[in-house]
Amino acid sequence: MLVGSGSDEAAREFGLEAVPNSYFTTPFRRTYWHQVVEKGVRQVGSEMGTVGAIVLDSRGRLAAGGSTGGPTGKLDGRIGDTAILGAGFGIADIQSSHGNSSGAGDQILEHLVASNVAKYHSAGATLGDAARRALQAMTSTGVSCSLIALDAHGNLAVESTARLFSVAHASSSKTPTANLRPTTFPLLPSHEFYSDHQLSIGLSRYPVTQGHALAIIKSGNSLFSLEPPEFTKAMVQVSSAVSILKDHYKVERCALASDGSDRLSILPLHGLSKDWHPITSDIKEFHENYPGYVSSKDGPMIEAGRLDEISSRIQQVSRLSSSPDYTFQSAQDDTNLFARIIRGEIQQWRIWEDTNHVAFLTPFANTPGFTVLVPRKHLSSDIFSIQEPDFSDIMLASHLVAGYLKEVFGAERCGMIFEGFEIDYAHVKLIPIHSADADFQISESKDLVTTELRFRALTKAIYCLVPATTDAVSSPMGLGSDSEPVPSNLLREPASIAPSGLADDEQALLRDTTVDYLIKAGFRTGVFHCEARIVNSASAYEFDASKPQYPRLSSKKKIEKDAPAVAILEINARAPGAKETDRIMNSRGLDLYALHLLAACGDAERMRILAIPFNEPEGWWGNSYIGAETGGIFKPVAMFEELAIQAPELSKHIVQWDMLLEPGARVQDPAETGRFRWVAWFLVHSHVSRSHLENLLRDIRSSLRFEMTPFS
């Protein structure tokens, strides 16, 4: 290892490119150096500038590197941790793991942080545990240190004692991401004042107010993933900690805020008097997705249609009765807003209730699904002052409602806040943590733009891919089948699906090739339809004279010299069938054939989610079918023309429509056949919102009229 003038001389001998030292600085760093070195200004909260990287290639080989300028005003000739194998970066072995650290170099060098990551991992610890153990020793030094670790399987670990740590990662199969990671060591052992098998409670390392405390769930589980008894027990212990903080800091009450992760913030509210007064804010904010924090600020008033749609979805899961219970367990002349809501005196979007509690959506939510939970009797807005058993009952109810919100919105976590600022009535605010991922993400590749469409389910994200090929399982025509097509109820419409008669290796080749082409083409307009053929197949078609409509595959007598290959005939956003191309393109890529397949599989939930259109800058699009609910002879009526006369406000949103039954068509009773016949199809466009679109679809379906004449 060469430093100083010796390294400069060696560089000249090796013919390495040289630049003046000014090349390695910036105006900001030069100004900072001037203040620290020449003016003697003490460094406070300086930003660490070390950059580290770890790379894993397709063969499982790892490499790590780092770069730093060192601390400002360092001694001439100083060698920091970044250049030292085992300190600033480390390697267990070429097939195991690499680590890279950033922070206070002298302490990192002393504790050999990167080397310890590799040592613990090689001894059998998981990568995450190894990284955490290696950094644990740094917490006692009081300096900042952060590290990233990567193993040969692509597992990534990030640990940091710093308040924020900038991290980015990317791969050939995932969209690049960059974010600021908060500290993973928010509580130092010396700051802890309570600990049991479940919780560690102490003063925050990075407080936002005097006495800011944190309750950390030791298992690392998110707050509402705890079982109800464990959750309630944890909240009782938090309440005890609040009593300690109130006594020590001489405050009347404390607030609680959590984003639903493994930590809860307990905030002493300094300056509040014993007499309650409302504290309000004129600042409004609204976020469709999680902005990185939870807030109890109001949002702009949400339109009733969207609240109806959200509450309906939650009610289906919570099974709220269609006849709500308006029992209020305190004085009936109580004029408090929550008392009036419980008694049903004002408009509300109730989503759940039991004998002692009511939960409802607030119309001034700052994110979709923001819910307020209240007891049926008027208790203090200071939740932590509520006596047992009421306190535990409210916590159990909060756990239950949070579970419903997580399920409905497909959220991994649910935030929780109670501070009692605006309304003097006990209430818990529950905030579903919506994923920050967009409905679809676009990443550049060398040849084509690849787009990943993520269909959001109520319980989780779903990736839907349906390669429909003539020779594959999804063929509706029976071609390529070694058995007769299987009857299937596709959207309650008669159809058949034929299994493939191809050899397993050829079927796998067909599937893998079409999937690869679909990915490269990009899911720009929805789930694609793909037609392909196997060339040089070991099978050939044979026709049975008794069933010429069902050609069968059988082994060829003469074996092909060349290996099987796939010929792609067509890839587009068209579902098979007459007029489907037009419908698909006008529906902004909604693949009706994919819906058919999901229906055939009985997967109603994914089918419903896939049918929800994607948002676009110019508005929202959706289509719908009208089915015959009774049997008879279809009598032609001017359905859409009459709608234009009877309900012009609805009709004006219909962009396109099509009649699917011919006049005089005979339709069997669905109750007997178990199958629907579709009468008409229509496409709707809204400039307002997705909920407005869904309300339009519902209202138009209920307003369209046609007649079925009974069979004679």
- Give residue limits of the domains in the chain: 1-44, 47-179, 187-269, 298-436, 440-589, 613-709
Task: Quote the DSSP letter at residue 141.
Answer: G
Which range among 269-278, 352-361, 387-396, 429-438 shows the weakest confidence by mean pLDDT?
429-438
Q: How far is CA 150 from CA 100, 160, 409, 480, in A?
A: 9, 15, 32, 47
DSSP letters spanning 459-527: SSEE-------TTSTT-SS-TTBSSPPEEEEETTEEEEE----S-HHHHHHHHHHHHHHHHHH--SSSS
Do residues 338 and 423 make contact, with C-beta atoms less than 8 angstroms apart? yes
Nearest CA to 110 among 137, 70, 144?
A: 137
pLDDT mean over 187-208 = 91
pLDDT mean over 573-581 = 43
pLDDT mean over 260-285 = 90
CB-based contacts of 306, cutoff 8 Å, min separation 6: 368, 689, 690, 691, 692
Do residues 15 and 27 make contact, with C-beta atoms less than 8 angstroms apart? no
pLDDT band of 251, cuts 50, 70, 90: very high
pLDDT band of 254, cuts 50, 70, 90: very high
263's enclosing H/E stretch is strand 263-268
Q: Is residue 147 classed as helix, strand or coil in its secondary structure?
A: strand
pLDDT tops 80 at residue 193? yes
Q: How far is CA 26 from CA 29, 30, 78, 89, in A?
A: 5, 6, 21, 25
Active site residue 50: yes
Write down the pTM of the prediction. Answer: 0.57
- Residue of 368 and 112 predicted with greater confidence: 368
- Torsion sign, CA atoms 71, 72, 73, 77: positive
Q: Which of 182-196, 566-580, 583-597 has the highest mean pLDDT?
A: 182-196
pLDDT at 62: 85
pLDDT tops 50 at residue 615? no
pLDDT tops 60 at residue 266? yes
pLDDT tops 90 at residue 398? yes
pLDDT tops 50 at residue 453? no
pLDDT at 605: 52
Which range among 201-210, 380-389, 537-546 shows the weakest confidence by mean pLDDT?
537-546
pLDDT at 56: 87
CB-based contacts of 215, cutoff 8 Å, min separation 6: 199, 200, 201, 234, 237, 238, 241, 263, 264, 266
- Residue of 276 and 203 predicted with greater confidence: 203
C-alpha angle 306-643-694 in degrees, rounded to nearest 5: 20
pLDDT at 456: 28
pLDDT mean over 52-62 = 84
Q: Do domains 187-269 and 298-436 have the same CATH topology?
A: yes
The tens digit of pLDDT for each residue in 470-523 reads 222 333 332 333 334 444 333 333 333 344 456 667 767 776 776 666 555 443
pLDDT mean over 101-122 = 70
pLDDT mean over 619-626 = 70
pLDDT at 464: 29
Q: How far is CA 46 from CA 23, 41, 108, 159, in A?
A: 22, 12, 17, 19
pLDDT band of 388, cuts 50, 70, 90: very high
What fold does the segment set 298-436 form as a domain? Answer: HIT family, subunit A (3.30.428)
Nearest CA to 369 among 314, 297, 295?
A: 314
Nearest CA to 682 among 666, 662, 698?
A: 698
Nearest CA to 500 among 552, 556, 543?
A: 552
- Residue of 138 and 160 predicted with greater confidence: 160
Do residues 104 and 87 make contact, with C-beta atoms less than 8 angstroms apart? no
CA atoms of 75 and 20, how far apart (whole Å): 20
Q: How far is CA 693 from CA 311, 588, 615, 699, in A?
A: 16, 14, 11, 10
pLDDT at 457: 24
> For 187-269, which CATH class?
alpha beta
Assign domain 613-709 to its CATH superfamily. Answer: ATP-grasp fold, B domain (3.30.470.20)
Q: How far is CA 638 from CA 537, 576, 578, 629, 650, in A?
A: 52, 28, 22, 18, 16
Three-state SS annotation for 437-468: CCCEEEEECCCCEEEEECEECCCCEECCCCCC
- ω into 487 cis (within 30 of 0): no
- Residue of 36 and 275 predicted with greater confidence: 275
pLDDT band of 335, cuts 50, 70, 90: very high
Do residues 362 and 306 make contact, with C-beta atoms less than 8 angstroms apart? no
pLDDT mean over 31-37 = 73
Do residues 73 and 33 make contact, with C-beta atoms less than 8 angstroms apart? yes
pLDDT at 455: 27
pLDDT at 585: 40
pLDDT at 25: 78
CA atoms of 343 and 326, how far apart (whole Å): 4
H helices of 344-465, in order, are: 390-409
Question: Of 26, 50, 469, 525, which one is the catalytic site residue?
Answer: 50
Helical pair 390-409 and 304-318, crossing angle rounded to 10 deg: 110
CA atoms of 374 and 356, how far apart (whole Å): 9
DSSP letters spanning 32-79: HHIIIIIS-PPP-SPPP--EEEEEE-TTS-EEEEEE---STTPPTT--
pLDDT mean over 569-587 = 46
CA atoms of 397 and 207, how far apart (whole Å): 30
CA atoms of 282 and 86, how far apart (whole Å): 53
pLDDT tops 70 at residue 149? yes
**Phi and psi at residue 429, to the nearest 5°:** -100, 125
pLDDT tops 80 at residue 620? no
pLDDT band of 588, cuts 50, 70, 90: very low
CA atoms of 198 and 235, how far apart (whole Å): 11
Which range among 48-57, 61-70, 151-160, 492-501 shows the weakest confidence by mean pLDDT?
492-501
What is the total residue count of the chain?
A: 712
CA atoms of 17 and 24, how far apart (whole Å): 14
CB-based contacts of 491, cutoff 8 Å, min separation 6: 595, 596, 599, 625, 676, 678
- Residue of 620 and 582 predicted with greater confidence: 620
CA atoms of 214 and 514, how far apart (whole Å): 52
Question: Per the structure block, which two tokens stand in for 320?
Answer: 């709220």
pLDDT tops 70 at residue 64? yes
pLDDT tops 80 at residue 704? yes
Q: Is residue 288 classed as helix, strand or coil in its secondary structure?
A: coil
Domain at 47-179: CATH code: 3.60.20.30
CA atoms of 622 and 574, how far apart (whole Å): 16
- Average pLDDT, whole number, for the chain? 75
pLDDT band of 82, cuts 50, 70, 90: low
Three-state SS annotation for 522-573: CCCCCCCEEEEEEECCCEEEEEECCEEEEEEEEECCCCCCCCCEEEEEEEEC
CA atoms of 501 and 479, how far apart (whole Å): 9
